[in-house]
A and B are shown apart, each in its own frame.
Chain A
Amino acid sequence: MVYLILKRLLQSFFVMLAVAFLAFSLFRFVGDPVSQMTGVETSVEDRERLRDELGLNDPFIFQFARFTGDLVQGDFGFSYRTREPVGEMIAKRLPATLELGTFALVISLVVGIPAGIYTALRPRGFVSQSILLVTLVGVSIPTFVIGIILIFLFGVQLAWLPTFGRNGTVDLGGWSTSFLTLDGWRSLILPAMTLGVYQLTLTMRLVRAQMMEVLRSDYIRFATARGVPYRQLYFKHALANTMVPVITIIGLQFGGVVAFSIVTESVFQWPGMGLLFLESIRFVDIPVMGVYLVVIAFFFVIVNLVVDMLYVAIDPRLRVKEAA
């Protein structure tokens, strides 16, 4: 186990290096940071001086080496746009994104798993068919449209929930959380629903498919014949076997939810890392974009590692294999 973790962490180092390299080779095409940092009346000479100071005239490989060298030493650099330290900017935005992603995941599990079980047990029922239809529509519509629809319905027309931003946060030693106030929860609902719809549908359909397959297997039939009560049969024996692949997929998806919450964050002006990344693209803020991509790469590696470990923990067969 320890060996596995160490191996993965070593791998993660190379993954991040590769991501940083790819990112840096693409930044040249994002645009010119100096034009975005200076005003209209700034002279050509002053622009060139700034470009020199930032090292933008150096060959690409030098810029990359400087970036990774500083990063390894824990120096994340300063934003071109706001001149704030990048490490601090990302750290400040991280809680917003993680809380949003986590809550979206919770919604998708709490709704998706029971709905999946229900639709598996009564596949032809009217309610099941309706649920399937609604969720199908949910994944077919692009995220930003769902977001806008929710905003206009619950924010503007009904005026139940705020349309934008992250209100009512409480600072817990550098981690600002939405979970402790009513305002915080109210702000969280719409973006989390928007972000969670796809997850929810995926979870539900996965649980449903797995459950239906498990229900057809021999041991369930034998258990039914033995007269095991239905409750125990479905929720203990069948569900446990259903969950193994579900957890893997959900875990892997969580990385995606956090990394690609960009659209949702933009629609709700949610001050997370995704929104920061978008603003950084607009201003060609290379240090922020670079660090963001490396952090996301690291995050993916960690999520994959955790999923692998969970997999081993849940499925006894894997433990046997590893021992052998």
Chain B
Amino acid sequence: MKIRTNLRLSVATTLLLIASQTASAESFRWASNTDPQTMDPHAVNSAPVLSFLNNVYEGLVRRGRDMSIEGSLAESWEPLEGENGWRFNLRRGVTFHDGSAFDAADVKFSYERASSEAADVRSWFAPVAEFRVVDDFTVEFVTTAPNPLFPDSIANFMILDSDWAEANDAALPARDAENHATRNTNGTGPFMVSDRDPGVSTTLTPYDGWWDTVEHNVTEATFTPIGNASTGLAALLSGEIDFIQPIPLQDVGQVEGRDGFQVLEGLETRVIMFGFGHEHDSLLFSSDVDGANPFTDPRVRLAVAHAIDVDTIDRVVMRGKIEPVNQLVPEGISGYSEANAGRPEYNPDRARELLTEAGYPNGFSFGLKCTNDRYINDESLCRAAAGMLAAVGLNAELTTMPVRNYWEQLRADDFDMYLLGWSPGTFDAEHPIRFLLHSQDDEKKLGSWNFGNYSNARVDELLPAIQQEIDPAARQALIDEVVEITQRDVAYVPMYTQPLIWASKDNVDLTQRADNFFLLRWVTVN
């Protein structure tokens, strides 16, 4: 017994020794499952890219630890007088990593670059009618309609140095072949990219001339993409990396059970829901219903909501880490409708009654499509849900597939019911209304992820009103109405928000932001 304890102690000390050897005090190594595809802040509008580049580039405004908007390269901003739009007063004395000074010309250049056809982030500037440089440190965005949320919506619009980009032939984001900005950076942010080997590792070093107060104590940070979750966990436990995002739900116990490591848990704002083919005339994958689509009946959709037991899913599939939701944004997001906070309780009897009322006393069979590599335990979730639906007579024929095949099938209307996760990019309730609830309208670029084409004239009417309403109370009343309508219609069946699970050594202090962005400026290694 004694010997065994000693042995364990010595193994522990060896581990500690090695850990301290490999991680010298302030050099920081972290891993994630996806390498940012590019270092160009305007080329790809994806979370891995924007999260990473927020360390290097900065926007006019930025989000704080709690997602609130604060000044960054703009010190202040105010609505224009006499016309729609916003004036931004730029910060003075900011320099880019190569030493050149930041001013309105860089904002103008970056705006033109980011709103060009070659940019993937141009949708942010859809409301902009005109951009004006007032003087070297004042710029104005004129919008086509009142737009109270415009500053929030451009928190990830990052500013490049115009001279640098033009001198290196990177005036536009790379469309087919790469250009200088694909692998090189010149931002104003707290870190500079000092070395990049795409898909292998990227090294960042602090920028001494950063304008803001330094809170981190990192002297060098190295990012490695590790695609395989077990490998990533092993790398953390062996001390080769200090931090990893995310780790699989099933590995939480592995990390929690060990000295010297911590699990960081939070809730993402992504709402997991089921959607329906509202517009289909008949079911595509049914063996017993022909020439009709029961899901066009709101009672059938409500039956689905009553049949799914989110608490059981939480316990069995998600290890108690999810939070049930009742609308398309979780509580805490601006515009969340307090007035509509109830959700259909789990009640299989009520579900059966509703089906009987709708004319399907014995239920029916239909096709359910799900991803198997997009959301946390998505395949297990769908299996569990299919089992619960079968209990009330709704026989789901489940098809799961990787996300690279999934959107294509949904866009081709190839589903009866489907799984979707939605994170409000602007952290406001207007976002899912624009993308998921407004009728599909390619011309106005609305409803682009409303695969089932849920359509309600009143909702379509309310969206522009919400976008333009300046008065918060009036705006909230409009949002409340949309939520009330879409809950009554059961446009979707929102189930829960999924957790964010990160893991690190316990000598690392960092901030887990709800948008799953990881920022080095909040890292301290003790």
Partner of A83 from the list B15, B18, B174, B227 (CB cut-off 8 Å) is B174
Q: Do B176 and A78 have beta carbons less than 8 Å apart? A: yes
B174 to chain A, nearest CB (A): 5
In the bound complex, how far is the Cα of B18 from the Cα of A163, in angstroms?
13
Q: Do B445 and A151 have beta carbons less than 8 Å apart? A: no
In the complex, which residue of chain B has the Cβ closest to the Cβ of A278?
Answer: B227
Partner of B234 from the list A40, A41, A152, A271 (CB cut-off 8 Å) is A152
In the bound complex, how far is the Cα of B198 from the Cα of A73, in angstroms?
26
Partner of A82 from the list B198, B238, B402, B448 (CB cut-off 8 Å) is B198
Is the C-beta of B4 less than 8 angstroms from some C-beta in chain A?
A: no
B225 to chain A, nearest CB (A): 8
Please indicate the chain B residues that have their CB under 8 angstroms from the CB of A46 in the complex. 117, 120, 122-123
Q: Do B240 and A162 have beta carbons less than 8 Å apart? A: yes
Partner of A39 from the list B14, B35, B45, B177 (CB cut-off 8 Å) is B45
Q: Do A83 and B46 have beta carbons less than 8 Å apart? A: no
Q: Do A40 and B425 have beta carbons less than 8 Å apart? A: yes
In the bound complex, how far is the Cα of B233 from the Cα of A152, in angstroms?
10
B contact residues, range: 35 or more
Please indicate the chain B residues that have their CB under 8 angstroms from the CB of A271 in the complex. 197, 199-200
1/0 per residue A81-96: CB within 8 Å of B? 1111100010000000
**Could you jot down 14 A-B contacts, CB within 8 Å?**
A31-B405, A32-B405, A39-B46, A41-B45, A44-B442, A44-B445, A49-B117, A53-B175, A78-B178, A148-B234, A151-B231, A162-B240, A163-B235, A269-B228
In the bound complex, how far is the Cα of B235 from the Cα of A164, in angstroms?
7
Is the C-beta of A282 less than 8 angstroms from some C-beta in chain B?
A: yes
Is the C-beta of A17 less than 8 angstroms from some C-beta in chain B?
A: no
Q: Which of A42, A46, A278, A279 has the most B CB atoms < 10 Å from its CB?
A: A42
Q: Do A83 and B45 have beta carbons less than 8 Å apart? A: no
Is the C-beta of B168 less than 8 angstroms from some C-beta in chain A?
A: no
1/0 per residue A20-45: CB within 8 Å of B? 00000000011110011111111111
Q: Do B408 and A151 have beta carbons less than 8 Å apart? A: no
In the bound complex, how far is the Cα of B408 from the Cα of A298, in angstroms?
33
Q: Do B228 and A44 have beta carbons less than 8 Å apart? A: no
Please indicate the chain A residues that have their CB under 8 angstroms from the CB of B178 in the complex. 78, 82-85
A74 to chain B, nearest CB (A): 15
In the complex, which residue of chain B has the Cβ closest to the Cβ of A166?
Answer: B200
* Nearest 10 Cβ contacts at the A-B interface: A39-B45, A31-B404, A83-B178, A32-B408, A43-B445, A163-B234, A41-B123, A35-B407, A159-B18, A31-B405
In the complex, which residue of chain A has the Cβ closest to the Cβ of B179?
Answer: A83
Q: Do B238 and A163 have beta carbons less than 8 Å apart? A: yes
Is the C-beta of B454 less than 8 angstroms from some C-beta in chain A?
A: no
Mark B residues whose CB is within 8 Å of A: 11, 14-15, 18, 35, 37-38, 43-46, 117, 120-124, 174-178, 182-183, 197-201, 224-228, 230-232, 234-235, 237-240, 402, 404-405, 407-408, 425, 435, 442, 445, 448-449
Please indicate the chain A residues that have their CB under 8 angstroms from the CB of B120 in the complex. 37-39, 42, 46
Q: Do B38 and A39 have beta carbons less than 8 Å apart? A: no
Please indicate the chain A residues that have their CB under 8 angstroms from the CB of B402 in the complex. 31, 282
In the bound complex, how far is the Cα of B37 from the Cα of A83, in angstroms?
8
A41-B123, A46-B122 in contact; A269/B176 too (CB < 8 A)?
no
Please indicate the chain B residues that have their CB under 8 angstroms from the CB of A259 in the complex. none
Please indicate the chain B residues that have their CB under 8 angstroms from the CB of A276 in the complex. 199
Please indicate the chain A residues that have their CB under 8 angstroms from the CB of B45 in the complex. 38-42
In the complex, which residue of chain A has the Cβ closest to the Cβ of B401?
Answer: A31
Is the C-beta of A115 less than 8 angstroms from some C-beta in chain B?
A: no
Please indicate the chain A residues that have their CB under 8 angstroms from the CB of B404 in the complex. 30-32, 35-36, 281-284
Please indicate the chain B residues that have their CB under 8 angstroms from the CB of A163 in the complex. 231, 234-235, 238, 240
Q: Do A269 and B231 have beta carbons less than 8 Å apart? A: yes
In the complex, which residue of chain B has the Cβ closest to the Cβ of A152?
Answer: B234
Q: Which of B45, B124, B175, B228 has the most A CB atoms < 10 Å from its CB?
A: B228
In the bound complex, how far is the Cα of B402 from the Cα of A29, in angstroms?
11
Is the C-beta of A156 less than 8 angstroms from some C-beta in chain B?
A: yes
Q: Which of B45, B227, B238, B240 has the most A CB atoms < 10 Å from its CB?
A: B238
Known: A82-B182, A164-B235, A275-B227. 18 other contacts (CB 8 A): A30-B404, A37-B44, A38-B44, A38-B120, A39-B44, A40-B45, A40-B425, A42-B45, A44-B448, A152-B234, A159-B18, A163-B238, A163-B240, A165-B224, A166-B200, A266-B231, A279-B227, A282-B227
In the complex, which residue of chain B has the Cβ closest to the Cβ of A154?
Answer: B238
Is the C-beta of A168 less than 8 angstroms from some C-beta in chain B?
A: no
Q: Do B122 and A164 have beta carbons less than 8 Å apart? A: no
Q: Do B121 and A39 have beta carbons less than 8 Å apart? A: yes
A31-B405, A155-B234, A269-B226 in contact; A279/B124 too (CB < 8 A)?
no
Please indicate the chain B residues that have their CB under 8 angstroms from the CB of A152 in the complex. 234
In the bound complex, how far is the Cα of B443 from the Cα of A45, in angstroms?
8
Please indicate the chain A residues that have their CB under 8 angstroms from the CB of B38 in the complex. 82-83
In the bound complex, how far is the Cα of B201 from the Cα of A94, in angstroms?
17
Please indicate the chain A residues that have their CB under 8 angstroms from the CB of B224 in the complex. 164-165, 269
Is the C-beta of A228 less than 8 angstroms from some C-beta in chain B?
A: no
